[in-house]
Structures are given as C-alpha cells and as structure tokens.
C-alpha cells in the first residue's frame, strides 16, 4: 500500500502515462473531457490513494469497457441520450470563489423564490445557490462541533476521501462488498471514476446520537457527479442518515451515477432517507439531470434492519432501486418511496428484496405521482431464496395520475424458491379527480391547497417514515413541485 503521494505520482508519471500518451499537470484543477486509464490514475493520484484502490478502480474500468449501456425503457415524451462518455470531464476541483456569484443578488430570482417557498433558512440559501460568502464558513464551524460530538461516541463520519486516508482498513474491508465494482454499467463507471462521497462507521453497540443530516446538507455540495457512500453499522449499532436536500440544486453535470452501500451487522439498524430534488429540466424537457443510482444494503447479521425512505421529485430521468439483501436470520428490509414526475420528467424506481436468511421480512410501500407529461414506473423484485424459511413480504404500490397526458407503469416481479413464504401485493391507480378538488374548494380550500392535501394524504405512509423535520420539508416540496400542474 502506498501512502506517499509522490511515490504514487512518480509511478504514474513514469509508467502508464507515456504509454497512454497523456500528460497532465497534476496541479491542474480539471482534466480535459474524456475517459481512459490515465484519467483514472490521475484521479487516484490527485486523491493520494493507496495502490489497492487504484487497482480496484482500474479493474472496474476494464469491466466497464466491456459492458453495454442499458437500454432502459423511456417514454417518447422526452428524448434520451446517447450519453457521450468522452465528453464528460471526470475531475474538476470545486469552483473557486471568483467563479461563484458574489451575493444573492446575482442568483436567479426564481431559484430564490423557490427557497423562500420551501422555507430554507437564509444562511443556507446562499450556500445552496453557490454564493461565496461567510455563511458557508459558519457552517464549517457548526460541522466541526458535530464532528467532535460524534467522535466522543466513536462514530466515524467523514468524506470518502478522508476515510481512504484515515481509515484505509475499514474502506478496504467493505468497499464493493455490497455493490461489486462491476455490478452494473453505472456502478462500474462510478467505481472507476468516483471522486468523493461520505463514509460512516458506527461502532458496536453505539446509537448514533444525532441524525446525520444537517452537517451533510451543507457539505454535500460539490461532491460531484460520481458520488460514493459507504455506511457500516457494527453489531447493535443504530444510525439514521439523510441524504440530499429539498432545495433545488443546480448542477451543470448532466449525468449523476452515485453508488451507496450499507452494511448492517447483527442487531444493527440503518435508516437511510433521501430527498432528491436535482434540476428536472424545463417544462419542455430541455436539460435536467440523469440520475442513475445504485443503492443497496446488506443485512449481514441476524436481526439486522435496513430501511430506505426516498422522496424523489427532481431529475429529468431517474433510475434507482434501493435494495436489501436479507442475509441474516430475522433481518428486516424496508423501502418507502414517493416519486413525483411533472412536466417531462421520468422516474423508474423501485426496490429489490432478496430473502436469504430465515424469518426475513420485507415491506415495500411505493407511491408514484404523475402530472403533466411525466411518467412514473415502479419496478420491483421480491426474491425468496430456497433457504429462506418463513420469509414474508408485503408490497403496496399505488399510482396517482393528474391530468390526461401523464403515465403510470408497474413491473413487479416475484420469485419464490421456498414454499413457506408469505407474500402480499396490493396495487392501486387513482386519479386526482376534479370532483375531489371541487369538493375541497367548496369547503373553502384553494385548488393548490387541495391538491397538496390530496397528494400528502396519498403519500402519508411514506412521509411518516421520514425524520420529523424532513417530513415537513418534503410536504412543502411536493406542493411546490406540483404548483403549476393545477389547471
């Protein structure tokens, strides 16, 4: 393992860069667009990574080269791809202050209006809008306070890059154990070129003393388009983690391919909540993020418990299936999802519950809301392996349509290899009726409030799974996202 940056650099400089005909000043902040082995070596060197990690990246890259980009279903209302992977720049340092807006006055007023509606605290608005002001520095001190408190409990919570430097043994032990480097096209790409992300380790028997959220919310900025998250809860540990933010985040990168791995040991519990509100493109489907994420949790130990909750309102196109591998006996996997598509957005999301251990249980609640020309797809797998005695699954999959031009699609797959399994699947499709809205209006409730009330009623079971303060934000977010869909 090489920890000396110069050694890695030298090796890189002497070795392959010549062969690949690629010479870049290591002090550069950005590499030119394009992807080849030398770019991966550059990223790894820039991050001062140990040799094994570079090897791991390169292996992933090799596999990626041989893989085919999935031709995933999409609907004709929005043109998709092809993505030119050679047109992407795979490393760029965070924007320097000179490139940022100097104050909120320079920020798109429409964006600020949305922050206002969402009730984002003033000091955070600047940070979210990318303004280079003191507010951002304030947040650093807040973060430090949090970190000290976490340290007291032995909790490790840091950026992925820091973890590689400070806890290489943990990273090496767990990285890629849940989502192998070549799991799928986008996971392989991420494994080859990821630039940063988060790392969490909760030691045995520790209940993480706070939601890992506020800190993250501010510091998640600029983590780049290939994000890597690894969370390990050791025996009997508990952690609740929130990713994302209700505020719409601008990003010039069109492709986002993150990987999240969760590992829960015996009696451990991980609650992972996401609010995703990346730029969805404009009303006509121009622009917007492609959000192709691989999220998977491993219930390694007996009685372990992993719960995914997501509120997906952003991105032009979302492909995302947070899953659970229920390996430990009596382990529990849960998936609660609200996906909202408006205008030309398309969301294809769901989960995979793989039952391996005995008496494993899984619970799936998926709520899809389609408005405008949006399409919402639920795609799920419940897989009961042969040894999974007494496995139980309950799936509820509801779709709500607003208007005549949107669509809802469901593709549930159930594979049962053990006949003691008990599986329930319920599905419904409903429409927000004009008669419902009129009824609310007659009672004095405005059309906007009526829609948000009906939608929130529809999503209630999922929102109830979110930490309190985020449930409130999520509710507002749903309102704002649907604002112009009421005729």
Partner 1 sequence: MLQITNLHASIDDTPILRGIDLTINDGEVHSLMGPNGSGKSTLAKVMAGDEAYEVTEGSIVLNGQDLLELDPHERAAAGLFMAFQYPVEIPGVTMKYFMRTAMNSVRKNRGQEELDAYEYLSVVKERAATVKLDLELLDRPVNGGFSGGEKKRAEIFQMAMLEPSACVLDETDSGLDIDALRIVAEGVNTMRSPDRSFLVITHYQRLLSYIVPDVVHVLVDGKIARTGGKELALELEEHGYSLIEKGNAVDA
- Name the residues that contact partner 1, by CB under 8 A: 430, 433-436, 438-447, 449, 453-454, 456-460
Residue with Cβ nearer partner 1 (423 or 486): 486
For the CB of residue 436, give the shortest distance to partner 1 in the complex, in Å: 5
Largest CA distance in the chain: 77
Residue with Cβ nearer partner 1 (33 or 433): 433
Are 165 and 276 in contact, with CB atoms under 8 Å apart?
no
For the CB of residue 469, give the shortest distance to partner 1 in the complex, in Å: 19
Residue with Cβ nearer partner 1 (143 or 486): 486
For the CB of residue 430, give the shortest distance to partner 1 in the complex, in Å: 7
Residue with Cβ nearer partner 1 (10 or 461): 461
**3-class DSSP assignment, residue 151:** helix
Rounded Cα distance between 181 and 105, Å, is: 44
For the CB of residue 331, give the shortest distance to partner 1 in the complex, in Å: 30
Q: What would the DSSP string read from start to end of 247-271? A: S-B--S--EE--EEEEEE-TT-EEE
**3-class DSSP assignment, residue 422:** strand
> β-pairing, 323-326 with 352-355?
parallel
Residue with Cβ nearer partner 1 (331 or 337): 337
Residue with Cβ nearer partner 1 (110 or 443): 443
Q: What are phi and psi of 313, to 5 degrees?
A: -125, -10
Are 93 and 30 in contact, with CB atoms under 8 Å apart?
yes
For the CB of residue 447, give the shortest distance to partner 1 in the complex, in Å: 7
For the CB of residue 445, give the shortest distance to partner 1 in the complex, in Å: 5
Residue with Cβ nearer partner 1 (102 or 460): 460
Dihedral of CA atoms 455, 457, 458, 464 in degrees, nearest 10, equals 110
Helix (H) or strand (E) holding 435: helix 434-442
The label of the residue with tokens 């408190």 reads 149
Q: Which two tokens stand for residue 484?
A: 């112009």
For the CB of residue 311, give the shortest distance to partner 1 in the complex, in Å: 16
């Amino acid at each position: 393992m090489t920890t000396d940056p110069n050694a890695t650099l030298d090796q890189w400089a002497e070795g392959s860069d010549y062969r690949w005909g690629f010479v870049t000043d290591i002090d550069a902040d950005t590499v030119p667009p394009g992807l080849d082995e030398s770019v991966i070596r550059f990223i790894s060197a820039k991050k001062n990574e140990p040799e094994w990690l570079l090897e791991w990246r390169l292996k992933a890259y090799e596999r990626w080269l041989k893989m085919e980009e999935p031709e995933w279903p999409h609907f004709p209302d929005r043109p998709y791809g092809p993505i030119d992977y050679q047109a992407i720049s795979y490393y760029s340092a965070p924007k320097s202050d000179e490139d940022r807006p100097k104050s909120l006055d320079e920020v798109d007023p429409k964006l600020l209006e949305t922050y206002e509606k969402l009730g984002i605290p003033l000091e955070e608005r600047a940070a979210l809008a990318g303004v280079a002001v003191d507010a951002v520095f304030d947040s650093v001190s807040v973060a430090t306070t949090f970190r000290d408190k976490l340290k007291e409990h032995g909790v490790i919570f840091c950026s992925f890059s820091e973890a590689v430097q400070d806890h290489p043994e943990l990273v090496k032990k767990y990285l890629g154990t849940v989502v192998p480097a070549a799991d799928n096209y986008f996971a392989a790409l991420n494994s080859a070129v990821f630039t940063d992300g988060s790392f969490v380790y909760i030691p045995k028997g520790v209940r993480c003393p706070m939601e890992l959220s506020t800190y993250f919310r501010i510091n998640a900025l600029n983590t780049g388009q290939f994000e890597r998250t690894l969370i390990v809860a050791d025996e009997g540990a508990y952690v609740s983690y929130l990713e994302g933010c209700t505020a719409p985040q601008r990003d010039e990168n069109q492709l986002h391919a993150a990987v999240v791995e969760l590992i829960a040991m015996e009696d451990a519990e991980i609650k992972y909540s996401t609010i995703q509100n990346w730029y969805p493109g404009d009303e006509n489907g121009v622009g917007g993020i492609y959000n192709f994420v691989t999220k998977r949790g491993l219930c390694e130990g007996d009685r372990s418990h992993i719960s995914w909750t997501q509120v997906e309102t952003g991105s032009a196109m979302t492909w995302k299936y947070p899953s659970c591998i229920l390996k430990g006996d009596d382990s529990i996997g849960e998936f609660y999802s609200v996906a909202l598509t408006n205008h030309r957005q398309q969301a294809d999301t769901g989960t995979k519950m793989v039952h391996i251990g005995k008496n494993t249980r899984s619970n799936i609640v998926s709520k899809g809301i389609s408005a405008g020309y949006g399409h919402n797809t639920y795609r799920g797998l419940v897989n009961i392996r042969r040894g999974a005695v007494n496995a139980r699954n309950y799936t509820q999959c509801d779709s709500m349509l607003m208007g005549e031009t949107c669509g809802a699609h469901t593709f549930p797959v159930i594979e049962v290899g053990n006949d003691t399994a008990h599986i329930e699947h319920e599905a419904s499709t409903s429409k927000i009726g004009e008669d419902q809205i009129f009824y609310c209006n007659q009672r004095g409730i405005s059309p906007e409030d009526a829609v948000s009330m009906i939608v929130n009623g529809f999503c209630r079971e999922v929102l109830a799974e979110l930490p309190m303060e985020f449930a409130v934000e999520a509710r507002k977010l749903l309102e704002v996202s649907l604002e112009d869909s009421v005729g």
